[in-house]
Amino acid sequence: MSLETQFPDAPFLDVANPGFSLRSAPVRAARSKSWYARTPYGLAVLRHKEMGQLLTHKSLIQGSHAWPALNGVTSGVFADWWNNTILVREGDDHWRLRKLVNPAFSPKIVKALMPEFERIANDLADGFIARGCCDFMAEFADPYAARVLCLLLGLPESEAPFILRTSATMGLALGVNFPDLVDEIEAATVELGAYISDVLKQREASPGDDILSVMVQAREDGDRLSHDELWNLALMLAFAGVDTTRNQLGLGLSMFAAHPDQWEALAHDPSLDMAAATEVMRMRPTITWVSREAIEDFEYGGITVPKGTVLHLYSESAGTDPEVMGDAGFDITAKRARNFGFGGGVHHCLGNLVARNDMAVAFRVLSARMGAPVIGEGATWLADSGNTGPIALPLSFSPR
């Protein structure tokens, strides 16, 4: 039975259309009418309360495993890797991996990285601040994300362009244009996967003090990660870490360009850097939805959700839900209910502490060195569904 037959009164959102915006009036209208809507992929969850509850619902598992198949990709290197990632592991298998990996992302390790984040941010800013203009993605967001990833994996920063190119191409798999880009994504997966394999062999033979080495040496009740598990996790770190960071930084600068008073508030009070990163994630998350799949029929919110239904929980729609957030706009000084930019439940993003901190450092460093940014002509964007963000973001500003 089709979703249209099962839920004839539910709003329909054509999110598979690359021109569709999850911040559009149809989404807002659907949210005001109902907590859910139909989409070409399944059901969309639009409100904050329901998203928070469904992220931890016992009848749902992580739905990301279905994403390649929903786009017609059922075989190949990318699909084979994806189907073995921690994203799609459940139950004891998932918890085992998390317990072994969690120490690599501890607050102590992340705190030790902060001076390096700041060094990278200032080094990149040195290249364009005096000009009063830049292509933010090419000159800051892209190299910053790639150099941070190199730092995490213990790679020389000279490898950053390669890491950026291959991981960004793999990241296109999370957009609605995935079916049109399969060949490029496959090639990038092969190339980056082979590189990660070589690096991993080096760390296994001679561990250092980087995050990959911590994972190599991790032990829990006599258990350890296998070579294949380490390879899969390291490739996921590169795949997810670079693309989401670059996109989120670009989305952040676009928000500050629209709200220059908030940029000046951060410049005046640098201690707001983490709040700034959190507020950006609330209003313009690069990961626009989190997926879940029903493992059984269950009753929720006045409807029966059939087994096998894929639910996409919309981070931005929930994060701007007026029932919880009121009608307040972008404000880095406001106290907010939690947002879901990093997901939630047992599949909460492993690297969220690293991501929050590297974004916070970037926003703090840039606000100290440049006045409020103004977006110029020529900005281009990824589709607004799936993973989104700027492709090119020309900015002008007054150097401080």
Give me the pLDDT at residue 1, please: 65
Give me the pLDDT at residue 93, please: 86
**Domain residue spans in the chain?**
3-396
- Give the model confidence (pLDDT) of 249-265 as tens digits: 999 999 999 999 999 99
The burial class, CB within 10 Å (0-12 / 13-18 / 19+), for 183 is exposed
Task: Give the separation between CA 195 and CA 206, rounded to whole angstroms.
Answer: 17
**Token pair listed for 66:** 């279905």
- Give the count of beta carbons closer than 10 Å to the beta carbon of residue 2: 8
- Give the model confidence (pLDDT) of 367-397 as tens digits: 999 999 999 999 999 888 778 999 999 999 9
Buried-state track 208-221, b at ≥16 Cβ within 10 A, e below 16: eebbbbbbbebeee
- Give the model confidence (pLDDT) of 51-66 as tens digits: 999 999 999 998 778 7
Q: Tell me yes or no: is domain 3-396 CATH 1.10.630.10.
A: yes
Residue type present at position 126: D
- Give the model confidence (pLDDT) of 115-147 as tens digits: 999 999 999 999 999 999 999 999 999 999 999
- Give the model confidence (pLDDT) of 92-112 as tens digits: 888 898 889 888 898 999 999
Q: Tokens 């939690």 belong to which residue? A: 338
Query: Which helix or strand (DSSP H or E) is residue 368 part of?
Result: helix 352-369
Closest-CA residue to 291 (of 97, 69, 61, 90): 61
Q: Tokens 């926003």 belong to which residue? A: 363
Residue 302's contacts (CB-CB under 8 Å, 6 or more residues apart) are none
